[in-house]
Amino acid sequence: MALVEPIPGEPAALADIDGERALVLADFHAGIEVALRYENGVEVASRAEQRREHVRRLLDTTSAGRLVILGDFMHSIGGPGGAERGEIEVLLESLAVPVTIVKGNHDGDIESIVENARSPRTPGSVPEVTVTPDGGCRLGNVGFCHGHSWPAPEVLGARVICVGHEHPQVRLTDEVGGSRTERVWLRGSLSREPFADRIEAWSDTDLVVFPAFNELMGGTWVNVRGEFLCPFLPEGLDGGEAYLLDGTRLGLYHEI
């Protein structure tokens, strides 16, 4: 298996961490339905159970021994509300593998949720849950950071770096003017220029930008708009190609 390999048809990937298989997904955004209701006036039934079972099914079918949440496990940037907190606690309590939560810009109080899920009053046994700093972490030869801030030096030293935050999408238009948006993966080489003063010893490194796991999230139309959210994108991605979730290669994202 490659160090990081997207799962066909899924907004998630498998990572080889020193022989351990890890399921990696980005931008879970638990409790987003509450925010859509109060901020946008849009009524959407909770999909918390569907998201939880989606994660559990992927863990089962891939036989992954670890789950890596690549930032924005939470949705609300401030203190998490009841529905959001409950969704995360129930998910963590339902898992039987260690979990690494890479802290994102929406995860300000994620530590309190993790501690509550571990508390004696909960009926199940919660596996090991680790929350990383904003700069992310390196596990084996794979680096993980959310992408809202600059990766830590140890992350930049990895063979492959995984980031979220961007929610990359493409807008596809047909010959009669109809259009649709699709979530995509972006993959290319890590460009040296933005990181020149952050890396002491340079090596060839791949950069993988993950699609949002939560299908209710908007995103960056990478083939239409030139504005990216990550401080090191698009300059940090050399030769970035886009792939649909089913694996279809679209070519260089800015030429689609």
> What are the structure tokens assigned to 202, written together?
């340079």
Which pLDDT belongs to residue 121?
Answer: 46
CA dist 114 → 27, 31, 85, 130 (Å): 17, 16, 9, 9
Could you tell me where the beta strands, DSSP code E, fall in 36-192? 66-69, 99-101, 129-131, 137-139, 142-145, 160-163, 168-173, 179-190
For the chain, 256 residues long, give each residue's pLDDT as a single digit of tens. Answer: 589 999 999 999 999 999 999 999 999 998 787 766 656 666 777 888 999 999 999 999 999 999 999 999 987 655 556 677 888 889 998 999 999 999 999 887 888 887 766 654 455 556 789 999 999 999 999 999 999 999 999 999 999 999 999 999 999 887 776 788 999 999 999 998 888 887 766 778 999 999 999 998 889 999 987 689 999 999 999 999 999 999 999 999 989 8
Q: What residue segments make up the domains of the chain, in order of their start?
A: 4-255
For the chain, how many residues are written? 256
What's the pLDDT at 32? 80
CATH of domain 4-255: 3.60.21
